Amino acid sequence: MTKTRIMLLLAGLASAGALGGQTLNVQAQDVAPAVRHLTKQIEILPDAQATPAESDGGDHALPDFVGGPKKLHFNDSEAGMAAIDEAGEQGGGEPKSAPLDTPAAAAKAETASTGKAGTENTGTVEPSNARPIPLTVEPIAAGGSEAALEPGKPKVPLVPAKSLFGAAKTPAPLQARAIGSYSRGCLSGAVSLPVDGPAWQAMRLSRNRNWGHPELVSLVERLATEAQKNDGWPGLLVGDLSQPRGGPMLTGHASHQVGLDADVWLTPMPNRKLTKREREDISATSMLDKTDLAVDPKIFTDTHVKLIKRAASYPQVERVLVHPAIKKALCQAAGTDRAWLGKVRPIGGHYYHFHIRIGCPAGSEAYCKPQKATTGEDGCTKEVDEWLARLSAPPKPLPPGYKPKPPPPPVTMAELPPECRSVLASGKDGIIAPPSPKPSLATTVAKEHPALHRQLLKLRAANK
């Protein structure tokens, strides 16, 4: 069998002009002579051709959900692209590998994603067919990867992962899996929520965020039809789910990355089909009164309570996020049936929509990082009252000479599960991700463990 060669630009963006924030064209076939020494060539070899030394099932195996048993073989001894070890981060050891997808399963996933049955797709990663995309390259901020800033080493420009995932227009033709955590991950085998259904309409279509794991899309459709039939809700206006391949978004959400989150407007669907322009321009209605600390009873009604209760009552749903004032109103309206209230969590914003989050679906256990389970308490006393107290407190005066902290560096591919590179590259519309500097320990702690990071800063200040 002819070897499929994948050319990856490991640091082809290292010019000074790139660090200035210019738009670059990442292309697999063109390698500038000035960065030839940083280019690696990777071969995908079928197992039948692999040598015993290449069959150790080690670090360079393609992720299991990529169709066909294959190995990555490096043409030298260097390790290749760096990535965070999600299993080590969870402290749970190595996750169990899921069965390899069959070509038929990959083809089925593509059919489910596109709604069209075509030629058989084996799910093989073919970056040589990936399209070039323009990328905005950002300078490395202070506090970023020290490795990239060491003297004598080429400076690798920081390519935000959101630029790559935001450019993906179609889903990865692989088995449906949520990969990583809700705010650090990606999605393979996504399906789209139809923009129009019998009991819903999708909003903000230009964002191309009506994609999700099949279980999430099915649940949104079920909620829409059951709320319309049983609760008197006219129909759902559905906001963002995820991008076609999940991942960080160009604007907005920190989560919504693995296809398990959905925003539902608290504005009921009108009794007509909205135009594309209306879906871009119409604003959702705030449920709050003039104080912003309580709901307006003329707007937030018993029908809203029934809708949110239904969403929280589904066993797949782990959380429903709402504004603290809405949580307070739900607590007051719940009556004796309060078991569902524990899933409804107060959070800032979310006064015009509620956020549904489902748990890791079956089949994604080896890749999906679950969130900590709720306590089971209804959260109607101390928790919601503390939230409202924080929102009503006047802002603290800034000290003399105050300077705002610089924004944190954007999330890069090195901070996502390594499987996300294959998710990006798969299929005819795949995108080749250039390398990114591995984040420093300090950056990782600040992003993933903010409470610990604050304690470390206090200790450092105390020891000065």
Question: In 283-436, where does DSSP find H-type helix?
Answer: 302-313, 324-333, 382-392, 419-425
- Rounded Cα distance between 30 and 433, Å, is 14
Helices (H) and strands (E) in the chain, counts: 13, 16
| pLDDT, tens only, 398-412 | 999 998 888 888 899
How many residues are present in the chain?
464
> Does the structure show a pLDDT above 70 at 116?
no
CA angle 116, 121, 123 (to 5 degrees): 120
Residue 319: half-sphere exposure toward Cβ, Cα within 13 Å: 21
Highest mean pLDDT: which range of 118-127, 286-295, 366-375, 427-436: 286-295
Residue among 198, 203, 275, 268 at smallest CA distance from 241: 203
Residue 236: phi, psi to the nearest 5?
-90, 140
Please give the average per-residue pLDDT across 28-55, as a whole number.
32
CB 247 within 8 A of CB 420: yes
As a whole number, the mean pLDDT across the chain is 74
Domains of the chain: 4-169+412-462 (no CATH), 180-392 (3.30.1380.10)
Residue 140: what pLDDT?
Answer: 43
User: pLDDT at residue 111 above 90?
Assistant: no
pLDDT band, residue 203 (cuts 50/70/90): very high
Per-residue pLDDT at 8 = 33
Average of per-residue pLDDT across 352-363: 94
Sign of CA dihedral 77, 83, 89, 95: negative
- Please report which confidence band the pLDDT of residue 194 belongs to, taking 50, 70 and 90 as the band edges: very high
Angle between helices 450-462 and 441-448 (to 10 degrees): 120
For the chain, state the CA radius of gyration: 24
259-297 tens-digit pLDDT: 999 999 999 999 999 999 999 999 999 999 999 999 999
| pLDDT attached to residue 436 | 65
Per-position DSSP letters for 67-135, written without gaps between them: SS-EEEEESSSS--S----HHHHHTS-SPPPPPPPPHHHHHHHHHHHHS---S-----B-GGGPPPEEE
pLDDT tens-place string over residues 144-177 = 444 444 455 555 567 899 999 999 999 999 999 9
For residues 173 and 2, what is the distance between their CA atoms, to the nearest angstrom?
22
pLDDT-derived band of residue 65, with 50, 70 and 90 as boundaries? very low
> CA–CA separation, 48 vs 55, rounded Å?
10
**C-alpha of 135 from chain center:** 19
pLDDT digits (tens, 9 = 90+) for 207-253: 999 999 999 999 999 999 999 999 999 999 999 999 999 999 999 88
Q: What is the pLDDT of residue 156?
A: 59
Angle at 55 (CA atoms; ends 50, 56), nearest 5 degrees? 160
**pLDDT reported for residue 78:** 31
Q: Which of 304-308, 340-344, 410-414 has the lowest mean pLDDT?
A: 410-414
* The pLDDT of residue 81 is above 70: no
Query: What was the pLDDT predicted at 454?
Result: 84
Helix (H) or strand (E) holding 321: strand 317-322
The residues near 43 (Cβ < 8 Å, ≥ 6 apart) are 3, 4, 5, 6, 72, 73, 75
Q: Is the pLDDT of residue 79 over 90?
A: no
- Within 10 angstroms of residue 89's Cβ, the number of other Cβ atoms is 15
**Residue 333 pLDDT greater than 80, yes or no:** yes
pLDDT of residue 461: 81
Q: Which of 104-118, 119-133, 151-165 has the highest mean pLDDT?
A: 151-165
Confidence of residue 134 (pLDDT cuts 50, 70, 90): low
What is the model's pLDDT at position 72?
30
What confidence score (pLDDT) does residue 118 get? 38
d(CA 434, CA 366) in angstroms, rounded, equals 26
HSE-CB of 53 using CA atoms within 13 angstroms = 3
Residue 138 has pLDDT above 60, yes or no: no
Q: Is a pLDDT exceeding 90 seen at residue 357?
A: yes
* Helix axes 302-313 and 324-333, enclosed angle (nearest 10): 90
Quote the CA–CA distance of 345 and 98 in Å, as a whole number: 33
3-state secondary structure of 448: helix
Identify whether the C-beta of residue 300 lies closer than 8 Å to the C-beta of residue 307. Answer: no
Q: What Å distances lie between residue 62 and 52, 364, 421, CA to CA?
A: 17, 16, 10
Pick the most confident of 20-24, 235-239, 453-457.
235-239
Give dist(CA 122, CA 113) in Å, integer: 15
Name which of 2-16, 108-122, 129-143 the model is least confident about.
Answer: 2-16
User: 359 near 370, Cβ under 8 Å?
Assistant: yes
How is residue 323 annotated by DSSP?
A: -
Per-residue pLDDT at 430 exceeds 70: yes
Tens of pLDDT, residues 373-386: 888 899 998 999 99
According to the model, what pLDDT value does residue 93 have? Answer: 32
Mean pLDDT, rounded, for 96-115: 39
Give the bridge partners for 135, in sequence order.
Answer: 24
- Over 80: is that where the pLDDT of 142 sits? no
Q: Report which of 190, 166, 168, 180 is spatially closest to residue 251, judged by C-alpha positions.
A: 166
**Partners of 236 in the beta sheet?**
200
Going by C-alpha positions, the residue among 187, 323, 188, 205 that lies closest to residue 255 is 187
Q: d(Cα 346, Cα 293) in Å, to the nearest integer?
A: 12
